[in-house]
């Protein structure tokens, strides 16, 4: 069973919040961002902990919020 660490990021600008989870994969522990829109769950890989920065989260959040 994958290990999950969940954190929700709230944004002050007009974006919907995303959920960020750490999951175990073949490449090691990777962070994934999720957003649910109209009952559909969308997922994007954020990367390893070493690349997990505020700018990267903003970039992934903007990408996921374009779906909405």
Kindly state the DSSP code that residue 52 receives in the 8-state scheme: -
Non-local (6+) Cβ contacts of 4 within 8 A are 21, 22, 23
pLDDT for the residue 54: 85
Considering the entire predicted model, what is its pTM?
0.73
Is 49 inside any structural domain? yes
Q: Tens digit of pLDDT per residue, the chain (68 long)?
A: 455 555 555 544 567 888 888 888 888 899 999 988 888 999 999 999 888 888 888 888 888 888 76
The answer to whether residue 1 sits within a structural domain is no
Give the per-residue pLDDT at 1. 47
Output the CA–CA distances (angstroms, integers) from residue 40 to 6, 17, 34, 35, 43, in the order listed.
19, 15, 10, 8, 10
**What pLDDT was estimated at residue 38?**
86
Give how many domains the chain has, as a whole number: 1
Range of the domain at 13: 6-67
């Amino acid at each position: 069973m994958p290990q999950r660490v969940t954190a929700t990021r709230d944004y002050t600008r007009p974006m919907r919040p995303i959920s960020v989870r750490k999951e175990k994969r073949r490449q090691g522990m990777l962070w994934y961002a999720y957003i649910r829109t109209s009952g559909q769950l969308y997922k994007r890989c954020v990367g390893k902990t070493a690349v997990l920065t505020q700018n990267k989260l903003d970039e992934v959040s903007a990408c996921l919020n374009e779906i909405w």
